[in-house]
Amino acid sequence: MNHLEFGWDGERLAAAYLGRLGWRILDRNVRAGRGELDIIAMDGNELVIVEVRSRRIGKLSPSETTVGPRKIRHLLKSARIYVERTAYRGNWRIDVAAVTVDASGNSRVELFSDVTMGMEGGYMR
């Protein structure tokens, strides 16, 4: 499995995980400005932009640590464009879904909620 296929598989696993949590998946791989939003979903009445990061065990850093301040700024820009383009009126946030795959091919998904907390513009009210 090449790098792109591995990433797509991670997004599929993350979407399935969110579905089991009761979230409604609205869209996937949406272009917004220069960026792409991996998963757009509703968690109850809140819009959630989900960045999916997939890693195999043995990499130097866990999936969730690969989303730094620069990536968060890019996600915020793309999310704002999406929210404005769709005329969404309500609370929204950005989460990270970290998909980890072990040597046997078993996967685990961890969700890190509201990764922009404290950064201006993470919500529109």
pLDDT digits (tens, 9 = 90+) for 41-60: 999 999 999 999 988 876 65
Number of domains in the chain: 1
Amino acid at 53: R
DSSP strand pairing (107-112 vs 92-101): antiparallel
Residue 109, strand partner residues = 99
Is the confidence at residue 105, as pLDDT, over 50?
A: yes
In this structure, is residue 60 part of a structural domain? Answer: yes
SS3 35: strand
Instruction: Supply the range of the domain harboring residue 78.
Output: 3-112
Residue 121 inside a domain? The answer is no
pTM here is 0.86
Cα 63 from chain centre = 12
Residue type, 52: V
Domain-located, residue 119: no
Residue 68 inside a domain? The answer is yes
Give the pLDDT band of residue 124 (cuts 50, 70, 90). very low
Query: Which tens digits make up the pLDDT trace of 2-41?
Result: 777 887 889 999 999 999 999 999 999 999 988 999 999 9
124 within domain boundaries = no
Q: Given this model, what pLDDT does residue 119 score? A: 62
Read off the DSSP letter of residue 19: H
Domain assignment of residue 118, yes or no? no
- Are the beta carbons of 41 and 79 closer than 8 angstroms? no
Domain containing residue 35: CATH number: 3.40.1350.10
